[in-house]
Amino acid sequence: MQDRNVAKTQQAPKSTVLILGDQINRDIASLSGKSPLETRILFVELGTKVQKKEWHVQKVHLLLSAMQHFAEELRSEGYEVDYRRADTLRDGVSAHMDAFEVANVIAMEPMNWNGKRVLEDLNVELVKNNQFLCHYEEFAKWTTTKNKFRMEDFYRWQRKRLDILMDGVTPCGGKWNFDHENRERPPRDGREWPQITFFENDEIDDRILQDLDGYWGAPPKGVWPVTRAQAHIRLDEFVNGALTAFGPYEDAMLSKEWKLAHSVLSSSLNIGLLHPREVVRAVENAYTNGDAPINSVEGFIRQVIGWREYVWGLYWLWMPEYKSENFLDADRPIPPSFLEQGETDMSCISRAVDHLHEFAYTHHIERLMLFGNLALTSGINPQEMTEWMHSRFIDGAEWVMLPNVIGMATFADGGKMATKPYASGGAYINKMSDYCSDCVYDPKKRTGDKACPFTSLYWDFLARNEKQLSGNPRMGQQFGGLRRLSDLGDVRTRAVDVLAQLDEGTL
C-alpha cells in the first residue's frame, strides 16, 4: 500500500528515515533532529509476516494498527510518508530506494539480529537503538568486568547508575530484593481484580480487521494499546489501580483471572509506545509519594530494568549461535494441547490456553511454570517452542523469546543463563494456583492413571537427563530425591504413557 500523494520528485532532496514496526515512538534516535522539510519517512509492512496464519490475530492487528496510526501521526506533522508492503524488509527498502532515487536511508538499529544484518547489507545508515536504558554494547562491556555474571548483579548495577529506587548509595527500603514478600498464594475469596479500559476501534482498526480472517485466537477486544495515548492510559491504570496488589500476587495463578494485577504494558514497551524510563519513573514516583509499597514497586522495577534489559543484552551478546542451542537434544513437537482450546484434561494447561486464546497473553509464571515447565520435562524442541511463543504472545519478539525459552524455560543453553532447570512437579502448581482443585489429575500422585502429568514427568525428566545434569551443584537435592524413589520404574512407565498421550492430544 503506497500513498497516492507521494511524489517521486521533490523540490529539494530529502533523506529517508526507515521506521520499523517495533519503533513506534516519536523520540526514536533516527528521528532526532529530523524536520519534515528535509526528511521522508519509510514504513515497510511485511507481507510474509502478516500471512503467517498461526499468529494470534490480536498480535497481527496490534503490529499493523500501531504502524499505521504512527504513519498518520507523522503525516499530520507534515512528514512525507511512504508506507509500502513488501514480502521482505530487503525488498521494501530496495523498492523505496529505486522509486525515490535515494542513495541514503537512515534507521535506528533493529531489535533483531537478522534485521540488523539486512540493513547493513543494504548500506542503511544505522544509529544506536535508544529504546532501552542499557545499550547492548554497554551490556557487553559490563560482562567483561565479571568472571561470572548474574541478573541480580546487573540489576543492582542498573539501580545505582540510573539512580532508581536509591537513597543516596543505599537501596530504598534498606535492601535490594523484596521477593520473599511477593510470593503469596492466590487468594480464594473471590475478590475483584483491577480493571482496564477497553479501547474502541477507529477507521484504521476496522480496515485492518476486514483482512484478518483465519488467524488463531479471539478477535481484538481493545486490550492492547495501538497509540501512545492509549499506552499512557494503560500505564496510569496500572500505577494508580494495580501496582499495590502487583507485588504480593505476581506469581499467583487463577483460572478465571487472565492478568490479576499485572501491568499488561509489555507489548507497549516492546513496540516503542512506551519507554522504560517513563514507566519506571512513574512507578518509582508512586512509592516516593506514598501511594504504593516498596515490595510491589521494587518487584516491578526489577522486571523492567533488571530482567527485561538483561534478556536484551544476552540476546545480542550470544547471537547468532544462541538461536540453535539444544543442550538436552529435545525433539518433541509442539503438542495439540498448546495449539487449540479443549485439547487436554490438564486443568492448568487448558485454562492457560484459554487465556492465551482470548487475550494473546498469559503472565510470566504461566509461561515459565506451565508452558515452559511442560516443554522442558516432556522434551519439546526449543526452537519450535520459541517460534510458538513468538507467534502466539502479544509481546513476543525474537530478542524476548530466545533467551526466555532457550535459557530459562527449556535449559537448552546448558546453563549459560539459568543456573538450573526450572522443572517442577504438580506441587508447585497446586500451591500457586487454583487449577488443581477441579482437575482430573492429582498433583500428589506420580504413578497411575490419575497421576499429575507434571509430577510424573518431573521425575522422568531427572532420570532421563541424569548424565547431563547430575554435575550441576544446584541439582544435588533433586537427584538425591530421585535416588530415594522406590517406585521409579512405575513412575517412568507412567511417563511413557503421558508422553504418548501428550503427542496424541489425549492427555
409 plus 430 within the same structural domain = yes
- pLDDT (tens, 9 = 90+) of the chain, 507 residues, equals 555 455 444 456 889 999 999 999 999 999 999 999 999 999 999 876 666 778 999 999 999 999 999 999 999 999 999 999 999 999 999 999 999 988 789 999 999 999 999 999 999 999 999 999 999 999 999 999 888 889 999 999 999 999 999 999 999 999 999 988 889 999 988 889 999 999 999 999 999 999 898 899 999 999 999 999 999 999 999 999 999 999 999 999 999 999 999 999 999 999 999 999 999 999 999 999 999 999 999 999 999 999 999 999 999 999 999 999 999 999 999 999 999 999 999 999 999 999 999 999 999 999 999 999 999 999 999 999 999 999 999 999 999 999 999 999 999 999 999 989 999 999 999 999 999 999 999 999 999 999 999 999 999 999 999 999 988 989 999 999 999 999 999 999 999 999 999 999 999
In Å, the largest CA–CA distance within the chain is 84
Q: Which H/E stretch holds residue 100?
A: helix 89-100
Taking alpha carbons only, the member of 253, 254, 247, 240 closest to residue 194 is 240
Alpha-carbon span 82 to 85, nearest angstrom: 10
The residue behind cell 544462541 is 322
Whether a cis peptide bond, with omega within 30° of 0, leads into 320 is yes
Which grid coordinates are listed for 441?
Answer: 489429575
Q: Is residue 60 part of a domain?
A: yes
Residue ending a domain, among 93, 127, 161, is: 127
Alpha carbon 389 to chain centroid distance? Answer: 8
- What is the rounded end-to-end Cα distance, in angstroms, of the chain? 46
Q: Which residues make Cβ contacts (< 8 Å) with residue 373, sequence separation at least 6?
A: 409, 422, 423, 424, 454
Q: Which domain holds residue 70?
A: 15-127
DSSP 258: S
Residue ending a domain, among 80, 106, 127, is: 127
Burial readout 283-304 (b: 16 or more C-beta within 10 A, e: otherwise):
bbebbeeeebbbbbbbbbbbbb
278 plus 341 within the same structural domain = no
Radius of gyration of the chain (CA): 24
Give, to the nearest 10 degrees, the angle between helix 294-301 and helix 276-288: 170
Helix (H, G, I), strand (E, B) or coil at 124: coil
Alpha-carbon span 116 to 104, nearest angstrom: 16
Number of domains in the chain: 3
Helix (H, G, I), strand (E, B) or coil at 253: strand
404 plus 308 within the same structural domain = no
Q: Is residue 178 part of a domain?
A: yes
Q: Is residue 384 part of a domain?
A: yes
